[in-house]
Amino acid sequence: MKILAVDDEDSIRELLSIQLQKNGYEVLTAADGQAALVKARAADLIILDVMMPKVDGFAVCRQLKSDTLTMAIPIIMLTAKAEEIDKVLGLELGADDYLVKPFSLRELMARIKAVMRRTKQNNVPPQQILHVGELQLDIASYQAIIKGQPLPLTPKEFELLKLLLTNPDKAFSRDELLTHIWGYEYYGDTRTVDVHIRHLRAKLTVAPELADAIETVRSVGYRFSSR
């Protein structure tokens, strides 16, 4: 498994390389966002610093998650910023996890394993396509088609919609959705779920019956109604 470690500090890149190799991973490195974009397609997972010259980590994450060739590559963001808005922004851009510097190497290794475990759980046979009304989800390629037109979903929006559609009429609490889509690390940080649901509904308004079918269950969370 190849991990791309992206950080503008030589000492951080060296530390990550040593620790990752010690745990059996093959390591690629990049010192800035531009180099990260060039090397990203060769990686199975990306550890991405936010504050970098040329192109910052948020911009790199946004570009990778909007490219069909790299959108499924898990990203763990590293930053010295601890403000909640930065964490929420990273997650909304499609990052799979978020660590604030200084971080524990043991915790980083645990996060890598958790992210890869979730990624494997989301893998499905390449022929699996889900049809709901005028919506078609190609699970293998992370592509959504509605009324014959592409529906631009981020990977997290796609996973959230897939979970709701494959469990019709089941009410998921916000914490359950965080666990399924983002992992155990985000217990209590439910605002990102509400943001993603709002974005999903907005994008589905081209087929109002689908947007309306994502229902808010008072004091619980959300469900997709089949009625």
Determine contact, residues 108/99, Cβ cutoff 8 Å: yes
How many C-beta neighbours within 10 Å does residue 88 have?
15
Phi, psi of 210 (to 5 degrees): -75, -40
Confidence of residue 125 (pLDDT cuts 50, 70, 90): very low
**pLDDT value, residue 180:** 81
Which domains does the chain show, CATH number per domain?
Answer: 2-122 (3.40.50.2300), 129-224 (1.10.10.10)
Given a cut of 60, whether residue 122 has pLDDT beyond it is no
Mean pLDDT of 11-25: 94
Give 177: exposed, middle or buried? Use CB within 10 Å, 0-12, 13-18, 19+: buried
Mean pLDDT of 219-223: 92
Determine contact, residues 96/116, Cβ cutoff 8 Å: no
Given a cut of 80, whether residue 88 has pLDDT beyond it is no
Given a cut of 70, whether residue 127 has pLDDT beyond it is no
> The dihedral of CA 112, 78, 87, 34: what is its sign?
negative
Determine contact, residues 117/82, Cβ cutoff 8 Å: no
Q: Which candidate, 8, 17, 65, places its Cα nearest to that of 35?
A: 8
**pLDDT value, residue 82:** 61
- Give the tokens for residue 175: 């914490």
Question: What's the whole-model pTM score?
Answer: 0.59
Mean pLDDT over each residue of the chain, to the nearest integer? 86
**pLDDT value, residue 126:** 43
Given a cut of 70, whether residue 203 has pLDDT beyond it is yes
Rounded Cα distance between 208 and 116, Å, is: 35
Q: Which candidate, 93, 207, 70, places its Cα nearest to that of 154?
A: 93
Give CA separation, 138 vs 23, 123, 135, 199, 226, in Å.
Answer: 34, 12, 10, 20, 20
Determine contact, residues 127/105, Cβ cutoff 8 Å: no
Bigger pLDDT: 126 or 40? Answer: 40
**pLDDT value, residue 44:** 93
Give residue 124's Cα distance to chain centre.
17
